[in-house]
Amino acid sequence: MSCFANRCLSVGLFLMVPLLSAASLLQADEPTFNWVKATPAAPWQARDSSGEVVFKDSMLLMGGWFDSLKPYPRDVWRSTDGKDWTRLTDQAGWTSADLPMTVVFKDQVWFMGGWYNGRLPGAKATNEIWTSKDGAAWEKVETTTCWDPRFGAGAAVFKDRIWILGGQKENFFSTLADRRNDVWSSADGKTWTCETEHAPWSPRSYHGAVVHDGKLWVIGGGNYLPEYDAVSDVWCTEDGKDWTQVTSKAPWHPRIWFSTVVYRDHLWVLGGWSKVPEQNWGDVWYSKDGKEWKQLKSDVVWKERHEHSAYVYKDRIWVAGGHARPLSNEVWSLELPADWTGE
């Protein structure tokens, strides 16, 4: 907050000159980067918890959540500009559309795990794995070894393997003991290797998992039910087995259901939800090393939300959908100047 003082100048004029505090000067020096709304209403029904990937020069949005007492959507949508979307299918082969793990690997889209049927009879987590060469036709992968059924896990492609990290096992309303901190990898999606049964980061779901600076990263996350907890720690590994804690507490508030991407050689944390305080978040943070974080200053940004889809595409960050109280089908993008360094 600025403070003001009167200064008498020797030129015979008395002027009221604002004296900015050190904090205000620092804030004034920070550039402002505003988000642009690509569309206020994409043609897909407003939702959260979808799968999302960048595939064959387009953004794909897959499945998600409308309501725990209604069947989950099994549609797949494609866009090259965030405004115009084409529905590739309305009935994909997979059914576990809520909080799945999705990646692009070996020129195919992979849709793994997830939660099925909300609170309806037969609700469960799965460890099914599905692949598609075009986003429209899907084929189930028959696995020889695999991780337990789960949802809300981290997923990434690292060292030419698919990785699954942690997540919630079996039941959305299960005990804390059903959270996982195991790490699995596969070179073909069929045969999986448990790299470590218990990584040093706490068992968690709804966290970030990305590849940056030649390392695999796990960021934040926690648990929703039956007991809420969330963390803001950051971990990395070069092999999936040996992990280093980069920071035990990043400056952003501990949260779940946020998005994490890598853009312009930085880690990014976008939005999310916390119970203490109980709110959605609309802040955006970035870090070069996972230890030192800065908040991006914006005068125009999307409404606070959680479980939105985030992409890095055409040298922009994109945010689509999510639970913004109510559910949203907005699409926003952020493009930084070519000379942006994060300093």
Q: Is residue 27 part of a domain?
A: no
Tell me if 301 is assigned to some domain.
Answer: yes
Domain count, the chain: 1
State how far the alpha carbon of 121 is from the alpha carbons of 65, 68, 191, in Å. Answer: 16, 11, 31
Asked if residue 53 belongs to a domain, the reply is yes
Q: Nearest-5° angle of CA 98, CA 279, CA 71? A: 20
Return d(Cα 202, Cα 220) in angstroms, integer: 10
CA 332 to CA 37: how far, in whole Å?
4
Dist CA 277 CA 72 (whole Å)? 29
d(CA 157, CA 138) in angstroms, rounded, equals 20
Taking the chain (343 residues) in consecutive chunks of 10 residues, what is each chunk's mean pLDDT? 35 36 48 97 98 98 95 96 98 96 98 91 92 98 95 97 92 69 98 98 97 98 90 98 98 98 98 97 98 98 98 98 98 97 91
The reply to whether 14 falls in a domain is no
Is residue 64 within 8 A of residue 75, CB to CB? The reply is no
Domain interval for residue 122? 37-334
Residue appearing with tokens 């939105």 = 308
In a domain, 195, yes or no: yes
28 φ/ψ angles, rounded to the nearest 5 degrees: -65, -30
* Residue 284, φ and ψ in degrees, nearest 5: -135, 125
Whole-number Å distance between alpha carbons of 140 and 129 = 6
CA distance linking residue 273 with residue 259, whole number of Å: 11
Contact 81, 104 (CB under 8 A): no
Residue-wise burial string across 302-327, b where 16 or more C-beta atoms lie within 10 A, e elsewhere: bebbbbbbbbbbeebbbbbbbbbeeb
- Total-model pTM: 0.91
Checking phi first, is residue 189 left (phi over 0); if not, alpha (psi -120 to 50) or beta?
left
For residue 103, give both structure tokens.
Answer: 């990646």
In this structure, are residues 320 and 330 in contact, taking their beta carbons and an 8 Å threshold? yes
Burial class (CB in 10 A: 0-12, 13-18, 19+), 94: buried
| Residue 42 belongs to some domain of the structure | yes
The pLDDT assigned to 227 comes to 85
CATH of the domain at 153: 2.120.10.80
On whether residue 30 sits in a domain, the answer given is no
Does residue 214 fall inside a structural domain?
Answer: yes
Residue 118: the pLDDT is 84
CA–CA distance, 29 with 131 (Å, rounded to integer): 48
- DSSP label at residue 233: E
- Cβ-count burial of 6 within 10 angstroms (0-12 exposed, 13-18 middle, 19+ buried)? exposed
Helix (H) or strand (E) holding 156: strand 154-158
